[in-house]
Amino acid sequence: MNTHLDVGEVVEARKSREQALAGTAAAGRPTWVPIALLAVLVMLPAIQVFDGFNYVLHLGLYALMYIAMSSSWNILGGYTGYISLGHNVFFCIGGYFSGMILAYTGISTLLTAPFAGLAASLVGFGIGFITLRMRGPTFIISSIALLMVARILFDNWSFVGGANGVTLPQLTIDVQWAKLPYYYAMLFIAAAAVYCSFRIKHSKFGLHLRAISQDEVKAESAGINTRFYKMLAFAISAFFVGMAGAVWGEYLTYIRPNIFLIILIAANMVLMCILGGKGTVAGPIVGTIVLIAFNEFFVATMGSSEINIFGTGLVMILALLYFPNGIVGTLAQKKKLPRFLDWD
């Protein structure tokens, strides 16, 4: 029987325990890193002066596109906690919006992209109105159903060419520099998406989203207009994806349902965020680079298609089981995050 009991000691012990649980604040942000990175990326196309770097540019463009899309997805999936497995619906809407304008009026998607983004946002707002009423797993299922519905709709819509799609005119530029406009467009979109993601994270809006992702019921009772904020997050997350779709369509010179509406694209967006760290700013970027590098390696050694799907699935399983917070998130948890990755 323990009889040693000092009132003062107990009160002290309680205080210090509470303090320990409160945690410590973070150090300053390395703002020079993203700026330096941006500078490098802006100057990258200069290597086109030398021959044979076409593929590098293509890869860069592709990566930037996914950075934009996964950062965008992150706003809904990472910050708000609503996981959408059909987000490439907006990719498709943006692509078709600008693509059809291009086909009919010849105006380049590079100009109409922001409007494509807006169109996607509007649709997103509307869809969100319906689907955001569902929580958790039901929301995920509805997003897959949405993708299936969109696929059927676009496959059967004769105005946009149905399953065969529409061929788009090409820009008349020298092959050596042909990729450049699209590259810079994607760079711009990616930068905008990441910056937007950063600003949201540090705004009151972002705080509310995080509250929603932790416990929506409590957030609601705390007076947060969860309905509106969720829909806004949905709309914003659709915006950059739509813009990316617009540029991608013109870059490929054709728009077809099966380039936009395949589940692998949605899976990629999700996986990049999970791998990198959903809910962080740098996470999607890290995840995108890692996954694309992994994909390239895979395709180079094993050829593409089915094995690719298996590989993506396997990576997702491993990520979810062993790094649920992603690379950035796990490092941050263990307090081992290198400063150049701490963009939060």
Where do contacts with other proteins occur on this chain (CB under 8 A)? 1-3, 5, 7, 10-11, 13-14, 17, 21, 81, 83, 85, 130-131, 133-138, 140-142, 144-145, 148-149, 152, 155-156, 263, 267, 270, 274, 305-314, 316-317, 320-321, 324
Minimal distance, residue 94 CB to other proteins, in Å: 22
Nearer to other proteins, 37 or 144 (CB): 144
Minimal distance, residue 128 CB to other proteins, in Å: 13
Please state, in angstroms and rounded to a whole number, the distance separating the CA atoms of residues 71 and 308.
23
Minimal distance, residue 196 CB to other proteins, in Å: 24
- Burial environment of residue 22 by CB neighbours within 10 A (0 to 12, 13 to 18, 19 or more): exposed
User: Closest Cα partner for 81 from 37, 140, 142, 13?
Assistant: 140
Minimal distance, residue 229 CB to other proteins, in Å: 19
Alpha carbon dihedral 197, 199, 204, 208, in 10-degree steps, equals: 10
Minimal distance, residue 6 CB to other proteins, in Å: 8
Minimal distance, residue 263 CB to other proteins, in Å: 5
Nearer to other proteins, 85 or 110 (CB): 85
Nearer to other proteins, 60 or 78 (CB): 78
> CB pairs under 8 A, 24+ apart, for 156-161?
160/96, 160/100, 160/255, 161/256
Nearer to other proteins, 134 or 178 (CB): 134
User: Closest Cα partner for 268 from 62, 117, 103, 109?
Assistant: 62
Nearer to other proteins, 10 or 111 (CB): 10
Token code pair at residue 59: 């890869």
Nearer to other proteins, 135 or 199 (CB): 135
Token code pair at residue 202: 């540090």
Please state, in angstroms and rounded to a whole number, the distance separating the CA atoms of residues 249 and 286.
25
